[in-house]
Amino acid sequence: MDLDDLADALYGGPPADFVATRDEAVRAARARGDREFATAAGRLRRPTRAAWLANLLARHRREQLDGLLALAGSLADAQRTLDGAALRELSSQRRRLVAGMAREAGRLAREAHEPVGDALLRELADILEAALADPVVADEVRSGRLTRTITYSGFGPDADPQAAARRSAERAAAAPAAAAPEPAAEPAEDPAEVARREREQQERRRDLADAEAAEATARDRRDAAEAEHERAAQEHERARERVATLTAELEAAQRHERTAAAQGREAAAAARAAAREAGVAATRTARARARVEDACAGGHTGV
């Protein structure tokens, strides 16, 4: 199994199994000495439940998802041209399609025996709205490996506050060099000042590395805690089902015990009645025998 196969299995499988499956793949890679695979696999992040729903759509309803995301260009054109009628029609169509896709994702989740509620479907709708507004988010959704829940405020996706800064920096880097003013000649810098700045930069890089390591550890703890929470919730649900089954069995046993007790009382009464009848019959038999014996004795005397 290569990394793509593992990612497909993880992002296409049940959310509750993500961490255990990923960690097992990491352990197996370390055992066979494939540290590069183990490191790459360990970086795969567990999706939020709303992101998992979006991944379901990307994997199982790709044509409908592409149809929804194709509205982004038409919406952008209508906004640029200030075409109010087209914008209203497209917005209405967008709302209908987003709601329909959210319902379809809920159906797919229930087929996979994963419970979903209205709040979770609203989070998925937010992701789809953000994908319509931002091509970067749209690409993440299409990949089927989305990990984060994204909302859209009308000015850009809100889940990643650094995304806009990154995109601005990318656009600035891609701008023609001719657009930048000619840099003015700068005086030679003090070597001590240069050394000081380099030390500060090194310290910042160390701080960043420490922060990233702490973040990775925190994410792992979060993933483990979420996996444990889901495992406990599933165990609780199984326990509730078992209690319901045992309660039903107990009630059936109690009904059977009451029926058996009633039958026992009826049988005891019948036995007592039969015993009385047998006693009466025995008495009658004894009297008849006595009369026969008396008759026989009188006959012998007359002879």
Q: Which residue has the higher pLDDT, 198 or 29?
A: 29
Is the separation of the CB atoms in 26 and 41 below 8 Å? yes
CA–CA distance, 29 with 275 (Å, rounded to integer): 83
What is the phi/psi pair of residue 189, to 5°? -85, 155
CA–CA distance, 15 with 153 (Å, rounded to integer): 27
Does pTM surpass 0.75? no
Residue 74 confidence (pLDDT) = 82
**What residues contact 234, with CB distance under 8 A and at least 6 apart?**
16
**What is the band of 227 on the pLDDT scale with cuts at 50, 70, 90?**
low
pLDDT in tens, 128-179: 999 988 999 999 999 999 999 988 765 444 444 444 444 444 444 444 443 3
Residue 136 confidence (pLDDT) = 92
Is the separation of the CB atoms in 101 and 70 below 8 Å? no
Residue 115 confidence (pLDDT) = 87
Distances (CA, A) of 223 to 45, 53, 139: 8, 17, 24
Q: Which of 223, 215, 219 is nearest to 20 (CA)?
A: 223
DSSP state of 179: G
Q: Which residue has the higher pLDDT, 286 or 299?
A: 286
Is the separation of the CB atoms in 6 and 34 below 8 Å? no
Largest CA distance in the chain: 169
> Cβ atoms within 10 A of the Cβ of 57, count?
24
CA–CA distance, 250 with 261 (Å, rounded to integer): 16
Q: Which of 55, 54, 50 is nearest to 9 (CA)?
A: 55
